[in-house]
Amino acid sequence: LFWSYHFFLRSSRKVSGIPVIFVPGSSGSVEQIRSIGSILHNKTENRNSPFSFDVFGIDFNQELSGISGMYLERQIRFLRLAVDKIWNMYSPQPVGLIFVGHSMGGIIIRSLFYSHDFDLSRISLAITLATPHSAPPFVFDYYMERFYEKMRLEWKERAEQIKNITVISISGGLKDILVPEHLTQDSGIHHFSTTSIDTVEVEVDHLCIVWCNQLQRYFFILLNSILNLFIYLFILMNNNVNK
């Protein structure tokens, strides 16, 4: 069933950092991981950060998942298997996984949230880029329409369970002619346009949003701030326990 699917680790060392999983969109390549991976690697090394990132990429063989909902169902099942494999690569296991999804890849990630046999505590953060959360930009078959209906219903049913998971949706602005900004917004999701981010000075098109250097640098600032806060709270809790 998954003979054409793979996942890759952008590192030559043993996994020991914070896992980041990149999920490409319709006809997207796993090589899109390079922009995000290089920024995270260079920034952590240059700043001598107390943590590092292990960046994984999911390869769907550039399937056109934006055309048929049947592709989406298959890709979701593979992502769940890949997440289990990645999770078990760590000893001790990580605090959580960070997901980054482009376009329909963000929908694949979001679909994990309503899988009743998936452990939601594994998810620390999900960032989606130009992802059509509220509706597909094009509907070519019944499967796509049914997929979105199911996602909306399940999202509402599990609202209480997933309310503590942060999902950030970033849209490219007017230059993205494939996925209009209003489709990248939905309830329970924090939405930002690239024009509203201080460090990003331009709008980006649907593909550029993956490798825009200004946006990649913002990712590091965001993740670095969150992780440093976790480290501070961890030290604070340990100090209180030892008193």
The confidence score (pLDDT) of residue 230 equals: 62
Q: How confident is the model at residue 1 (pLDDT cuts 50, 70, 90)?
A: low
Q: Is 103 a catalytic residue?
A: yes
* 181-214 pLDDT tens trace: 999 999 889 999 998 988 888 889 999 999 998 9
* 160-185 pLDDT tens trace: 888 888 999 999 999 999 999 999 99
Angstrom distances, CA of residue 49 to CA of 38, 40, 124, 190, 208:
15, 11, 19, 27, 28
Is the pTM for the entire model greater than 0.75? yes
Average pLDDT in the chain: 87
Catalytic residue among 68, 103, 124, 169: 103
Q: Which stretches of 50-203 are assigned E, i.e. beta strand?
A: 53-59, 97-102, 123-129, 166-171, 190-193
Going by C-alpha positions, the residue among 218, 189, 207, 194 that lies closest to residue 36 is 218
The confidence score (pLDDT) of residue 149 equals: 92
How is the chain split into domains, by residue range?
6-242
Token reading at 149: 């209906």
Report the distance separating Cα 125 and Cα 128, nearest Å.
10
Q: How confident is the model at residue 93 (pLDDT cuts 50, 70, 90)?
A: confident
Q: At the topology level of CATH, where does 6-242 sit? A: Rossmann fold (3.40.50)
Q: Which residues contact 100 (CB under 8 A, 6 or more apart)?
A: 20, 21, 22, 23, 36, 126, 127, 128, 129, 219
